[in-house]
Amino acid sequence: MLRTILILLFSIIVVPFTSIYFGEPLSDTQITILKKSTYIALAIALACFIVSEISKNYSQTDKVWSIAPIIYAWYITASGEWNERMILMAVLVTIWGVRLTYNFGRRGGYCWKFWIGEEDYRWAVLRENTIFKNKPWNWRLFNLFFISLYQNGLIYIFTLPILAVLTGVDKPLGIFDILLSITFLFFVIIETMADHQQWTFQSKKYALINAGKPLEEPYSKGFVDAGLWGKMRHPNYMAEQAIWVIFYLFSVVATGAWINWSMIGSLLLLILFYNSSNFSEEISAKKYPLYAAYQNKVGRFLPKLF
Q: What is the pLDDT of residues 244-275, one digit of tens each?
A: 999 999 999 998 888 888 888 888 898 888 88
For residue 65, what are the domain limits? 19-297
Domain-embedded: residue 4: no
Domain-embedded: residue 8: no
Domain-embedded: residue 143: yes
Domain-embedded: residue 274: yes
Domain-embedded: residue 52: yes
Domain-embedded: residue 302: no
How many domains is the chain built from? 1
Does residue 156 contact residue 41 with C-beta atoms inside 8 Å?
yes
> Residues of the chain whose pLDDT is less than 50?
1
Q: What is the pLDDT of residue 275?
A: 87
Kindly compute the dihedral angle of the four CA atoms of residues 254, 243, 107, 141, in this order, to the nearest 10 degrees.
-80
Does residue 176 contact residue 253 with C-beta atoms inside 8 Å?
yes
Q: What is the pLDDT of residue 107?
A: 82
Sequence-distant (6+) residues with CB within 8 A of 250 are: 85, 88, 89, 161, 162, 165, 177, 180
- Per-residue pLDDT of 33-52, as tens digits, reads 999 999 999 999 999 999 99
Q: What is the pLDDT of residue 1?
A: 47
Domain-embedded: residue 194: yes
